[in-house]
A = this chain, B = another copy of it.
Amino acid sequence: MSGKSTKIRNENTVWHEPTIYRNNRESLNEHRSVIMWFTGLSGAGKSTLAHALEDYLHNKGIRTFVLDGDNIRHGLCKDLGFSDADRTENIRRIGEVSKILIDAGVLTMTAFISPFRKDRRLVRELVADGDFIEIYCKASLETCENRDVKGLYKKARAGQIQEFTGISSPYEEPERPELIIDTANNTVETCVDQVVRYLETNKYI
């Protein structure tokens, strides 16, 4: 097989140059791609907001994907637990997959507590400026604990769940997130509108 140009980068892997890049995929899709990183306490509404936003964006013809516990913890990260080290590795892998997805032209949303600043910063630094939108789903521990739809906080208080963020493991609030969404006092629709306005104002969509 006659070869394309190749180059070598380490001892035992030869790389072959692609001809199709992210900008070609964005052109085909007629929209940009970006990582929208939702962070916040359990019960703050990250997944709910991400899926509602995906519904809105998809119906506008935008290629979207939501990474969440369902497709990560049972798959790519099923070897990981909930210790600090495993949470860090979990977030690192989610960051790398998000980077692949935006390279593939997909507007990518992630819905994980991601409690540690250093882990979120690591993901931000994986990609170019403007490719990472940190969205803090802000609801107080009291609000989240009062909701406690599935009784997780109650179990954490009873010591039946270890290292539960906000109870027995810290949550470090974002210092300079691109967006703060008050998910305690607004409907899903209002929260979606706020994110959509940000995307429009900053020419993502």
| Binary contact track A21-55/B, C-beta < 8 Å → 1, others 0 | 00011001100000000000011110111011011
- Interface bin, chain A: 35 or more
User: Which residues A115-152 have CB closer than 8 A to chain B?
Assistant: 126, 139, 149-150, 152
B51 touches A13 (CB 8 A): no
Given A4-B48, A28-B58, A68-B15, A100–B103 Cβ distance below 8 Å? no
B76 touches A100 (CB 8 A): yes
If over half of A's interface residues share one DSSP class (helix, strand or loop), that class is named, otherwise mixed; here it is mixed
A20 touches B73 (CB 8 A): no
* A contact residues vs B (CB 8 Å cutoff): 1-4, 6, 8-9, 11-20, 24-25, 28-29, 42-45, 47-49, 51-52, 54-55, 58, 61, 63-71, 73, 75-76, 82, 93, 96-97, 99-101, 103-106, 111, 126, 139, 149-150, 152, 155-156, 160-161, 164, 183-184, 186-188, 191
